[in-house]
Amino acid sequence: MTPQRHLDEELGLLKEKLFTMASLAETMIHKAIRSLVERDETLFQVVEEQEKKVNHLEIEIDELCLKLLALKQPMATDLRFITSAMKINSELERIGDLAVNITQRVAVLIKQPQLKPLIDIPRMAELTQKMVKDSLDAFIQKDADLARSVLTRDDEVDGLKGQIFRELLTFMLSDQSTIPRSLELILVSRHLERIGDHATNIAEDVVYLVLGKDIRHHIETERNK
Protein backbone atom coordinates (compact mmCIF):
# COMPACT_ATOMS: atom_id res chain seq x y z
CA MET A 1 0.00 0.00 0.00
CA THR A 2 1.38 3.47 -0.83
CA PRO A 3 1.87 5.86 2.11
CA GLN A 4 -0.78 8.21 0.66
CA ARG A 5 -3.28 5.37 0.36
CA HIS A 6 -2.56 4.37 3.90
CA LEU A 7 -3.09 7.96 5.04
CA ASP A 8 -6.36 8.12 3.09
CA GLU A 9 -7.56 5.05 4.95
CA GLU A 10 -6.71 6.60 8.29
CA LEU A 11 -8.46 9.81 7.25
CA GLY A 12 -11.51 7.72 6.41
CA LEU A 13 -11.45 6.33 9.95
CA LEU A 14 -11.14 9.86 11.33
CA LYS A 15 -14.19 10.98 9.34
CA GLU A 16 -16.17 8.00 10.61
CA LYS A 17 -15.35 8.78 14.22
CA LEU A 18 -16.29 12.44 13.81
CA PHE A 19 -19.50 11.42 12.11
CA THR A 20 -20.40 9.12 15.02
CA MET A 21 -19.61 11.89 17.48
CA ALA A 22 -21.78 14.41 15.61
CA SER A 23 -24.68 11.94 15.44
CA LEU A 24 -24.42 11.42 19.19
CA ALA A 25 -24.37 15.17 19.80
CA GLU A 26 -27.48 15.65 17.63
CA THR A 27 -29.35 12.90 19.46
CA MET A 28 -28.37 14.43 22.78
CA ILE A 29 -29.87 17.80 21.83
CA HIS A 30 -33.01 16.08 20.63
CA LYS A 31 -33.37 13.97 23.79
CA ALA A 32 -32.62 16.88 26.12
CA ILE A 33 -35.42 18.94 24.60
CA ARG A 34 -37.75 15.95 24.49
CA SER A 35 -37.18 15.53 28.23
CA LEU A 36 -38.41 19.12 28.62
CA VAL A 37 -41.40 18.92 26.29
CA GLU A 38 -42.59 15.52 27.53
CA ARG A 39 -41.47 16.16 31.11
CA ASP A 40 -39.72 12.80 31.00
CA GLU A 41 -36.85 12.48 33.43
CA THR A 42 -35.90 8.98 32.25
CA LEU A 43 -34.22 10.69 29.30
CA PHE A 44 -31.61 12.39 31.53
CA GLN A 45 -29.86 9.08 32.04
CA VAL A 46 -29.79 8.43 28.29
CA VAL A 47 -28.20 11.82 27.62
CA GLU A 48 -25.62 11.20 30.35
CA GLU A 49 -24.67 7.82 28.90
CA GLN A 50 -24.22 9.43 25.51
CA GLU A 51 -22.05 12.16 26.98
CA LYS A 52 -19.65 9.50 28.26
CA LYS A 53 -19.40 8.08 24.75
CA VAL A 54 -18.77 11.53 23.33
CA ASN A 55 -16.03 12.16 25.88
CA HIS A 56 -14.28 8.92 25.01
CA LEU A 57 -14.56 9.68 21.32
CA GLU A 58 -13.04 13.12 21.86
CA ILE A 59 -9.91 11.57 23.31
CA GLU A 60 -9.76 8.87 20.63
CA ILE A 61 -10.05 11.43 17.84
CA ASP A 62 -7.43 13.68 19.39
CA GLU A 63 -5.01 10.78 19.67
CA LEU A 64 -5.70 9.64 16.12
CA CYS A 65 -5.02 13.16 14.81
CA LEU A 66 -1.76 13.44 16.74
CA LYS A 67 -0.71 10.02 15.44
CA LEU A 68 -1.43 11.07 11.86
CA LEU A 69 0.47 14.32 12.28
CA ALA A 70 3.46 12.57 13.84
CA LEU A 71 3.75 9.44 11.74
CA LYS A 72 2.39 10.44 8.36
CA GLN A 73 3.70 14.00 8.22
CA PRO A 74 0.84 15.01 5.93
CA MET A 75 1.23 18.01 3.67
CA ALA A 76 -1.03 20.88 2.62
CA THR A 77 -4.67 19.80 2.29
CA ASP A 78 -4.39 16.74 4.52
CA LEU A 79 -2.60 18.71 7.20
CA ARG A 80 -5.26 21.37 7.26
CA PHE A 81 -7.96 18.69 7.29
CA ILE A 82 -6.44 17.06 10.37
CA THR A 83 -5.97 20.30 12.31
CA SER A 84 -9.58 21.26 11.45
CA ALA A 85 -10.70 17.85 12.67
CA MET A 86 -9.03 18.55 16.02
CA LYS A 87 -10.92 21.82 16.36
CA ILE A 88 -14.23 20.32 15.27
CA ASN A 89 -13.68 17.55 17.79
CA SER A 90 -13.61 20.12 20.63
CA GLU A 91 -16.71 21.84 19.31
CA LEU A 92 -18.69 18.59 19.21
CA GLU A 93 -17.63 17.68 22.72
CA ARG A 94 -18.91 21.02 24.00
CA ILE A 95 -22.19 20.57 22.20
CA GLY A 96 -22.57 17.35 24.16
CA ASP A 97 -21.81 19.20 27.40
CA LEU A 98 -24.46 21.79 26.60
CA ALA A 99 -27.08 19.08 26.01
CA VAL A 100 -26.25 17.80 29.51
CA ASN A 101 -26.57 21.35 30.86
CA ILE A 102 -30.03 21.55 29.32
CA THR A 103 -31.14 18.39 31.13
CA GLN A 104 -29.92 19.96 34.39
CA ARG A 105 -32.25 22.90 33.82
CA VAL A 106 -35.06 20.55 32.81
CA ALA A 107 -34.58 18.60 36.06
CA VAL A 108 -35.44 21.79 37.96
CA LEU A 109 -38.24 22.79 35.59
CA ILE A 110 -40.26 19.60 35.61
CA LYS A 111 -40.57 19.67 39.39
CA GLN A 112 -42.87 22.66 38.89
CA PRO A 113 -46.10 23.06 36.90
CA GLN A 114 -45.67 23.81 33.21
CA LEU A 115 -45.40 27.55 32.59
CA LYS A 116 -46.65 27.58 29.02
CA PRO A 117 -46.84 25.35 25.96
CA LEU A 118 -43.38 25.31 24.42
CA ILE A 119 -43.09 26.27 20.77
CA ASP A 120 -40.02 28.44 20.21
CA ILE A 121 -37.61 26.36 22.30
CA PRO A 122 -38.31 23.09 20.43
CA ARG A 123 -38.06 25.06 17.16
CA MET A 124 -34.71 26.47 18.26
CA ALA A 125 -33.53 22.98 19.21
CA GLU A 126 -34.53 21.59 15.82
CA LEU A 127 -32.65 24.37 14.06
CA THR A 128 -29.46 23.92 16.05
CA GLN A 129 -29.58 20.14 15.71
CA LYS A 130 -29.76 20.53 11.93
CA MET A 131 -26.91 23.06 12.05
CA VAL A 132 -24.72 20.52 13.84
CA LYS A 133 -25.59 17.85 11.29
CA ASP A 134 -25.03 20.10 8.28
CA SER A 135 -21.79 21.61 9.53
CA LEU A 136 -20.32 18.16 9.98
CA ASP A 137 -21.65 16.96 6.60
CA ALA A 138 -20.14 20.07 5.03
CA PHE A 139 -16.80 19.16 6.60
CA ILE A 140 -16.84 15.57 5.42
CA GLN A 141 -18.01 16.47 1.90
CA LYS A 142 -15.89 19.64 1.78
CA ASP A 143 -19.04 21.54 0.81
CA ALA A 144 -18.54 25.29 1.34
CA ASP A 145 -22.10 26.17 0.26
CA LEU A 146 -23.63 23.92 2.86
CA ALA A 147 -21.27 25.43 5.44
CA ARG A 148 -22.32 28.94 4.46
CA SER A 149 -25.99 27.99 4.85
CA VAL A 150 -25.22 27.04 8.47
CA LEU A 151 -23.85 30.53 9.08
CA THR A 152 -27.06 32.10 7.79
CA ARG A 153 -29.20 29.95 10.04
CA ASP A 154 -27.34 31.15 13.12
CA ASP A 155 -29.09 34.52 12.72
CA GLU A 156 -32.43 32.75 12.87
CA VAL A 157 -31.35 31.03 16.10
CA ASP A 158 -30.33 34.37 17.59
CA GLY A 159 -33.67 35.82 16.53
CA LEU A 160 -35.54 33.06 18.35
CA LYS A 161 -33.40 33.55 21.44
CA GLY A 162 -34.38 37.23 21.53
CA GLN A 163 -38.05 36.39 21.04
CA ILE A 164 -37.98 33.81 23.86
CA PHE A 165 -36.27 36.30 26.15
CA ARG A 166 -38.85 39.03 25.53
CA GLU A 167 -41.79 36.66 25.96
CA LEU A 168 -40.46 35.32 29.25
CA LEU A 169 -39.68 38.81 30.49
CA THR A 170 -43.35 39.67 29.94
CA PHE A 171 -44.36 36.62 31.96
CA MET A 172 -42.06 37.60 34.82
CA LEU A 173 -43.24 41.20 34.85
CA SER A 174 -46.92 40.27 34.92
CA ASP A 175 -46.66 37.43 37.46
CA GLN A 176 -43.71 37.11 39.74
CA SER A 177 -44.51 33.50 40.60
CA THR A 178 -43.27 32.68 37.09
CA ILE A 179 -39.79 34.15 37.69
CA PRO A 180 -37.87 30.99 38.67
CA ARG A 181 -39.34 28.93 35.82
CA SER A 182 -38.85 31.73 33.30
CA LEU A 183 -35.20 32.02 34.30
CA GLU A 184 -34.66 28.31 33.76
CA LEU A 185 -36.25 28.50 30.31
CA ILE A 186 -34.07 31.50 29.43
CA LEU A 187 -31.02 29.45 30.39
CA VAL A 188 -32.20 26.56 28.20
CA SER A 189 -32.48 28.96 25.26
CA ARG A 190 -28.97 30.31 25.99
CA HIS A 191 -27.59 26.78 25.96
CA LEU A 192 -29.24 26.20 22.58
CA GLU A 193 -27.80 29.48 21.32
CA ARG A 194 -24.33 28.28 22.30
CA ILE A 195 -24.90 25.00 20.48
CA GLY A 196 -25.69 27.09 17.40
CA ASP A 197 -22.46 29.04 17.98
CA HIS A 198 -20.42 25.85 18.09
CA ALA A 199 -22.01 24.65 14.82
CA THR A 200 -21.17 28.07 13.36
CA ASN A 201 -17.55 27.66 14.45
CA ILE A 202 -17.43 24.32 12.66
CA ALA A 203 -18.98 25.82 9.52
CA GLU A 204 -16.46 28.69 9.53
CA ASP A 205 -13.63 26.17 9.74
CA VAL A 206 -15.10 24.33 6.77
CA VAL A 207 -15.26 27.46 4.61
CA TYR A 208 -11.63 28.16 5.53
CA LEU A 209 -10.64 24.60 4.74
CA VAL A 210 -12.40 24.48 1.38
CA LEU A 211 -11.90 28.00 0.06
CA GLY A 212 -8.72 28.86 1.93
CA LYS A 213 -10.50 32.02 3.07
CA ASP A 214 -10.65 32.92 6.69
CA ILE A 215 -14.12 34.24 7.31
CA ARG A 216 -13.96 34.02 11.06
CA HIS A 217 -13.67 37.72 11.59
CA HIS A 218 -14.63 39.02 8.16
CA ILE A 219 -11.02 40.04 7.66
CA GLU A 220 -11.72 39.63 3.97
CA THR A 221 -14.28 42.43 4.03
CA GLU A 222 -12.04 44.61 6.16
CA ARG A 223 -9.17 44.21 3.72
CA ASN A 224 -11.39 45.16 0.79
CA LYS A 225 -12.56 48.37 2.39
Q: Which CB, 43 or 88, lies closer to its own copies?
A: 88
Q: Which CB, 5 or 166, lies closer to its own copies?
A: 166
* Sole binder of its own copies in the list 18, 35, 44, 58 (CB under 8 A): 58
DSSP annotation of 1 reads: -
Binding to its own copies (CB under 8 A) within 180-209 occurs at 180, 183, 186, 190, 201
* Residue 211 binds to its own copies (criterion: CB under 8 A): no
CA–CA dist 19, 194 (Å, integer): 20
CA–CA dist 75, 103 (Å, integer): 42
Per-residue binding string, its own copies, 88-107, x by CB under 8 A, is --x-----------------
Which residue, 88, 82, 202, 80, is CA-closest to 148?
Answer: 202
> Do 88 and 136 touch, CB atoms closer than 8 A?
yes
Q: Which CB, 169 or 211, lies closer to its own copies?
A: 169
Give Cβ neighbours of residue 103 (< 8 Å, ≥ 6 apart). 32, 35, 43, 44, 47, 48
Least CB distance from residue 112 to its own copies, whole Å? 14
* Residue 179 binds to its own copies (criterion: CB under 8 A): yes
Least CB distance from residue 21 to its own copies, whole Å? 13
CA–CA dist 219, 178 (Å, integer): 44
Which CA distances in Å does 191 have to 148, 177, 210? 22, 23, 29
* Residue 118 binds to its own copies (criterion: CB under 8 A): no
**Residue ranges in contact with its own copies by CB under 8 A:** 52, 55-56, 58-59, 62, 65-66, 69-70, 73, 75-76, 79-80, 83, 86-87, 90, 169, 172-173, 176, 179-180, 183, 186, 190, 201, 214, 216-217, 219
